[in-house]
Structure formats: C-alpha cells, structure tokens
Amino acid sequence: RSRGHTLTLFNRGKTKPGLFPDVEKLTGDRDPNKGEGLKALEGRTWDAVVDTSGYVPRVVRASAELLAPHVQHYTFVSSISVYKELSRQGLDETAAVATVEDTATEEVEKHYGALKALCEQAAEAALPGRVLNVRPGLIVGPDDPSDRFTYWPLRVARGGEVLAPGDGVDPLQFIDAR
C-alpha cells in the first residue's frame, strides 16, 4: 500500500473482520462447495495473487483455474514440508517432493507435505509459468496450535538442563506471522 498498490483481501470474514479498514474485502470460501464459495472473485482482475491458505489440491485448483484468465502472477505460499527427505541438508527446488498414493485425499494432518506439493502442482497446471511457490520453514505466532516454537522458550525459561535435538549449529528459521 505504501507503494501505491491497491489490495483486496478474500476470506470468510469471520476472524477479525475489522482489520485493515481501508482495504477492500471480498467474502467467500476457498472451498467452492461451501457457502458462496469463490463467487466474489468472479469477473474481477488483479495483477497478482498471494495465496496463503491452500492446503487441499481440489480447493487450490478451483481458485487458480477461476483466477487464471484474470491474473498475471500467482504466488502460492507452500511449505518446506513438501520435501520428501526433510533430513537432508541443502535442499532446493530440485529436490524430490513428498507424494501420497491417494491424490484425492483431504486428510491434511496426515498428508500435509504431500498435499502442499499437490497444491503447488495444481496452481502451476492452472497458470503455467506464472506461479511462484514459496516454501518457508516454520511459520509461528499467536494462532499456531502446533507448539513448535513456544515450547522451547517456555522450557528454557523454566531453567535446568534441556535435552534438545541437533548439534547446536543446525540451521533453523522461524517466521513470525505477525
């Protein structure tokens, strides 16, 4: 916004709807089978889309296909969890990604990484050559239910010896969602 861009937010309008009062908000659901679905996006044009909430390929495919004729660029925020072998150091975008036998599954907790990889593929199929897949590490913050980050500072604050994974020089990056 500080550079003169016009922003539009698309969400269900349920969590903190008063945030960003000077930004256009469209209400709907990523899942085209729920409520008004993607209807609010129909007939609109944008230069770029940043998709931060795709977890199921069917849902990403629906929004990417709807938007394909109306956007120049699509950024999909994926996950480092897409990689098949997370224990390998130095992974880059050429590394193998996780797979799942049943590509129609929507069991996100069970197949998170493989489903994110399929979401990347769905976006690319809808917008060939116009997709950037971002694979961040741990995104943490107040609404992160995983306890991946908060456990450690709270445990260290209690004092005493702490058994921790790694050798003290392992690379790790946290992104604070705030």
| Structure tokens given for 150 | 């908060």
pLDDT at 141: 83
* Residue 4 burial class via C-beta count within 10 angstroms: exposed 0-12, middle 13-18, buried 19 and up: exposed
pLDDT at 23: 95
pLDDT at 5: 93
- List 131's β-bridge partners, or say none: 74
pLDDT at 89: 81
Structural domains present in the chain: 8-136 (3.40.50.720), 141-176 (no CATH)
Q: Which residues of 8-23 are buried (b: 16+ CB within 10 A; e: fewer)?
A: eebbeeeeeeeeeeee
Instruction: Return the DSSP state at 130.
Output: -
Give the type of residue at 63: S
Q: What's the first-to-final CA gap in the chain, in angstroms?
A: 17
CA angle, residues 101, 107, 112, in degrees to nearest 5: 80
pLDDT at 94: 93
What are the helix and strand counts (H, E) for the chain? 3, 7
pLDDT beneath 70, residues of the chain: none
